[in-house]
Amino acid sequence: MDIAGAQHPEGEEVSNPSTLHSMAPDGPQTPITPVAPVPPQHVQPIIIKCISISDLAGASTPTQLDSRKKNWQSWSHSMHFILDIINAKGYVDGSISKPSLDADPDSVENWHFNDSYIKMLIAKYIAEDEMIHTTGCQTAKDMWANLKKFHQLTSYGLITDILWTLSNMRARDGNNIPKHLLKLKNQWEKIWQFKDEENCTIYNNTYFKQQIARSLPHSWDNFTALYIKAYASKKEAHLSPMKRIDSQQFIRFINQEYELQISRKQEDDLLPPKGANKNPSLASRISNPNNNNANDNSSCKRTCHHCGKIGHFKAQCCHCNKTKCSKCDRFGHDNEDCPQNQTSGSKRKGGNNNSSSSNNK
């Protein structure tokens, strides 16, 4: 074995390390390549600039954080929007750490100013009862962490109640489906306010589509199965694009189907009952002596619930949009404008005149 600095059997000294070989006991020799030293990398110092307070001139003012209102999610989102405007979100999540003492003096001074300004913003937009959670905090990160820790504990019970309400929302046959879906969507948006990495995985778009389908009556099962029914493989999902729509598109399709069902039902109401001939021919009436009775029976079935007459339905009534007077049972006026009020008043006046004339006699 050749070793650096050792004598060669022929008396030659091996001085070039690049020609050294290492040999296993019974294996071939492999050359050893020297490793070049890694030059030290120059670290660019971080320059922290001062926050431009004028950027917040047009920002909206968030509502105050209050544990009694349970508004941590909405308040934290509003504060994140404000911090994004001035590029200061890193002061509350810890991504912008405090510079070391040997860093740029201007950067150290700017960091202290920015952190103090963020602490002032947090204290400005929280209720007085919340100050107890921020007392003694040295940085804005500590203030945010204490508030988040306290309010997330109370938010667990709140999201449980919202999920319970969402899972128990049901529509029945005959209900207004668009209004039901609107209430369902408002409840879902409350859950979405608590979004984080875990919640986004569990309560995703597929979960909401399933909740929409199960909240509808059983008469909608055949329609919703086209968009919700599980598929055996991913290839089937690509072949059926209807199953890849999101919840918003699913709600829009349900509303369209509901409007079609309402229009079909209105068309069916305008049609005569089954078995009734709307315009029987003269020959059929002459040949069938009982035709008048049949027409009478069919007319009895077609009774208007608005005017009380037979032979038509409420949708075909010519007085459908008119007001009905309860005194004279006529249409076009109400009780106060009824003509009978005037006739009764004139009769009273006439009666008084007759009585006065009889007394004079």
List the helix and strand counts (H, then E) for the chain: 13, 2
pLDDT at 12: 46
Residue 114 has pLDDT above 90, yes or no: yes
**pLDDT score for 72:** 81
Residues 145 and 205 in one domain: no
* pLDDT of amino acid 231: 53
Same domain, 128 and 186: no
Domain-embedded: residue 291: no
Q: What is the pLDDT of residue 265?
A: 83
DSSP secondary structure, 47-104, as one string: --PPP-GGGGTTPPPPPPB-TTTT-HHHHHHHHHHHHHHTT-THHHHSSSPPPPTTS-
Q: Are residues 150 and 98 in the same domain?
A: yes
113: Cβ–Cβ under 8 A, 6 or more apart, which residues? 50, 51
Joined together, the tokens standing for residue 256 give: 């369209």
Distance CA 209, CA 250 (A): 7
**Would 226 be classed as within a structural domain?**
yes
Shared domain for 76 and 142, answered yes or no, is yes
Q: Looking at the domain assignment, is residue 54 inside a domain?
A: no
Highest mean pLDDT among 105-119, 199-213, 221-235 belongs to: 105-119
Q: Does residue 357 register a pLDDT over 50?
A: no
Q: Which of 158, 185, 217 is the last residue of a domain?
A: 158
For residue 200 the two structure tokens come to: 């986004």
In a domain, 101, yes or no: yes
**Does residue 48 fall inside a structural domain?**
no
Mean pLDDT within 108-123: 92
Q: What is the pLDDT of residue 73?
A: 77
By the 8 A CB rule, do 102 and 94 touch? no
- For the chain, the average pLDDT equals 74
Number of domains, the chain: 2
Question: Residues 6 or more apart from 215 whose CB is under 8 A from it?
Answer: 169, 170, 171, 180, 184
Same domain, 144 and 180: no
Identify the pLDDT of residue 9.
46
The last residue of one of the domains, among 216, 242, 269, is 269
**Environment class of residue 142 by beta-carbon count within 10 Å: exposed (0-12), middle (13-18) or buried (19+)?**
middle
Residue 106 lies in a domain: yes
Mean pLDDT of 135-158: 83
Contact 144, 92 (CB under 8 A): yes
- Do 257 and 176 share a domain, yes or no? yes
pLDDT in tens, 148-181: 888 776 666 677 777 888 889 999 988 999 999 9
Q: How confident is the model at residue 316 (pLDDT cuts 50, 70, 90)?
A: confident
pLDDT recorded at residue 283: 60
What pLDDT was estimated at residue 289? Answer: 54
Q: Count Cβ atoms below 10 Å from residue 131 Cβ, excluding itself.
A: 10
Q: Which of 16-30, 208-222, 303-317 shows the lowest mean pLDDT across its residues?
A: 16-30
Question: Could you list the residue range(s) of the whole structural domain that residue 204 is in?
Answer: 171-269
H helices of the chain, in order, are: 72-85, 90-93, 105-124, 140-167, 177-192, 197-202, 205-215, 221-228, 234-239, 247-270, 282-287, 291-301, 339-360
Question: Does the pLDDT at position 4 exceed 90?
Answer: no
pLDDT at 280 over 80: no
User: Burial letters for 190-199: b for 16+ Cβ neighbours within 10 Å, e otherwise?
Assistant: bbebbeeeee
The per-residue pLDDT for range 34-61, each reduced to its tens digit, is: 655 655 555 566 788 888 888 787 777 8
Together in a domain, 178 and 148: no
Query: CA 252 → CA 2, 246, 249, distances in Å?
Result: 81, 10, 5
pLDDT at 6: 43
Where residue 127 falls among pLDDT bands split at 50, 70, 90?
very high
Mean pLDDT, residues 236-243 taken together: 68
Q: Is residue 58 part of a domain?
A: no
For 25, residues 6+ apart whose C-beta sits below 8 A from its C-beta are none
Together in a domain, 250 and 193? yes
Same domain, 178 and 143: no
Judgement on whether residues 176 and 261 belong to the same structural domain of the protein: yes
* Distance between CA atoms of residues 141 and 91, nearest Å: 6
Side-chain-side CA neighbours of 115 within 13 Å: the count stands at 24
Q: What is the pLDDT of residue 360?
A: 46
The reply to whether 98 and 130 lie within a common domain is: yes
Any domain includes 135: yes
Whether residue 101 has pLDDT greater than 60: yes
DSSP H or E segment with residue 29: strand 29-31
Please indicate, yes or no, whether residues 142 and 175 belong to a single structural domain of this protein.
no
**What is the percent of the chain with per-residue pLDDT over 90, rounded to a whole number?**
19
